[in-house]
Amino acid sequence: MFYTPAPPDPKAAPVRINLLSDTQTKPTPAMREAMAKAEVGDEQVGDDPTTNELCARVAGLLGKEAAVFMPSGTMCNVAATLAYCRPGDEILAHATAHIIAREGGAHAALGGFQIMPLPGDDGQFTPEALRAALHPRTRYQPPQVLVSVEQTANIGGGTIWKKAALDEVVSIAKAHGLATHMDGARLLNATVASGISPRDMTAGWDSAWIDFSKGLGAPIGGVIAGTRAFIDDVWRWKQRLGGSMRQSGVCAAACIHALDHHVDRLAEDHANARALARGLSQINGIEVQAPETNLVFFKPDGAGVAGTRMVSELRKRGVMLAMMDGRIRACTHLDVTAAQIEEMVGHVRDIVRGA
């Protein structure tokens, strides 16, 4: 039995335009230089100065007491739910959430938690949907402990939760005694696009994290922030999960470099995403969701080309992207240029013409 990804096809065209994911970004020469110069120590005992600096930077950025460097965004989510919940507890999240569909069942396997999938458009549940899913504490219902949102909502189309909706979710959660967690894999895309600061965007949320290995361009890592007590708990789970690190300053230096140089430029990725959506929407029969950030979801079926065929035809032309939940997802990031976007639209036009 094969698990995806399939082994790369040696006869496949070289990838020239990589729209598969912002995780595909490679560290820039300047980032590698920062990594090479990083001062390091033993992270596990709190002795790595560069990792400590990164954690202090992110805690400050998100207005939280403390933060911890994790090997991945997935581990930020997993360690967070392990810190908040006990076996049998319920987490509430949108039906398309990463914690439900893309973390290998970690929350059930490692924590024994169940996740209640909430409905709603564009990867976001409404405050009303949250209210409707809440129940009083009884002897027979699972204890509801945590509500989690994605900012931005990945499968929802990279959509940005509005600040007012986030505030309402927090106030409902607090009134019900739930903890609040923000999966901020692309939080800085949301803050750059909306002009709302990261501190304001995460205000009221017990925990939030940002991924450095996506649009920020670092090779590895996420940083989760919250109260000092919460971060102590996350640290214990980080150790239990085997995620404690040693001279992690080499990686933390890349993240610090990203905070200094790769945040404002996310606006370019958003402009490229808008240009891509505009170009695609001018092709008859292509259905495009208007992007709010760096993710462009589209369906070519109306132009007579099935999504899977479009993906494989584009791949032959050196463009890599993939289907995600029934649509094609194109992701712009720091290794994608405006000229590549124009070229990509041309390929789609040609493929549709030849259909």
Ligand X SMILES: *Cc1c(COP(=O)(O)O)cnc(C)c1O
Interface region with ligand X, contact rule CB under 6 A, candidates 36-44, 68-76, 163-171, 173-181: 68-76
154 or 272, CB closer to ligand X? 154
Nearest distance in Å: CB 75, ligand X: 7
Q: Closest approach of Cβ 149 to ligand X, in Å?
A: 10
Question: Based on CB atoms, which residue is closest to ligand X, 71 or 300?
Answer: 71
Q: What would the x/- binding string for ligand X be over residues 182 to 221, using CB under 6 A?
A: -x-x-------------------------x-x--------
**CB of residue 50 vs ligand X: minimum separation in angstroms?**
19
Q: Which stretch binds ligand X (CB under 6 A): 31-39, 73-81, 88-96, 296-304?
A: 73-81
Distance separating alpha carbons of residues 284 and 352, to the nearest angstrom = 9
Q: Which amino acid appears at position 318 of this protein? A: G
Minimal distance in Å, beta carbon 269 to ligand X? Answer: 14
Contact flag: residue 73 with ligand X (CB under 6 A): yes
| Region 8-67 residues binding ligand X, contact defined as CB under 6 A | 23
- Nearer to ligand X (CB atom), residue 50 or residue 293: 293
CB nearer ligand X, residue 220 or residue 283: 220
Which one among 98, 107, 274, 299 touches ligand X, defined by CB under 6 A?
A: 98
Minimum distance, C-beta of residue 305 to ligand X, in the bound complex (Å): 27
Site string for ligand X, 290-319 (x = CB under 6 A): ------------------------------
3-state secondary structure string across the chain: CCCCCCCCCCCCCCCCEECCCHHHCCCCHHHHHHHHCCCCCCHHHCCCHHHHHHHHHHHHHCCCCEEEEECCHHHHHHHHHHHHCCCCCEEEEECCCHHHHCCCCHHHHHHCCEEEEECCHHHCCCHHHHHHHCCCCCCCCCCEEEEEEECCECCCCCECCCHHHHHHHHHHHHHCCCEEEEECCCHHHHHHHHCCCHHHHCCCCCEEEEECCCCCCCCCCEEEEECHHHHHHHHHHHHHCCCCCCCCHHHHHHHHHHHHHCCCCHHHHHHHHHHHHHHHHCCCCCEECCCCCCEEEEECHHHCCCHHHHHHHHHHCCEECEEECCEEEEECCCCCCHHHHHHHHHHHHHHHHCC
Instruction: Tell me the number of residues near ligand X by CB under 6 A.
Output: 13
Exposed, middle or buried by CB within 10 Å (0-12, 13-18, 19+), for 354?
exposed
| 222 lines the binding site for ligand X (CB under 6 A) | yes
Contact between 74 and ligand X by CB under 6 A: the answer reads yes
Q: Which of 89, 150, 292, 313 binds ligand X (CB under 6 A)?
A: 150
Cβ atoms 319, 8 nearer than 8 A? no
User: Which residue bears the tokens 């908040």?
Assistant: 84
Closest separation in Å from C-beta 23 to ligand X: 6
**Residue nearer to ligand X on the CB measure, 185 or 352:** 185
Q: Work out whether 331 is an interface residue with ligand X (CB under 6 A).
A: no
CB of 71 to ligand X, least distance (A): 8
Q: Is the Cβ of residue 255 or residue 303 nearer to ligand X in the bound state?
A: 255
Q: Tell me the two tokens of residue 286.
A: 């292509």
Q: Which positions touch ligand X (CB under 6 A)?
A: 23, 72-74, 77, 98, 150, 154, 183, 185, 211, 213, 222
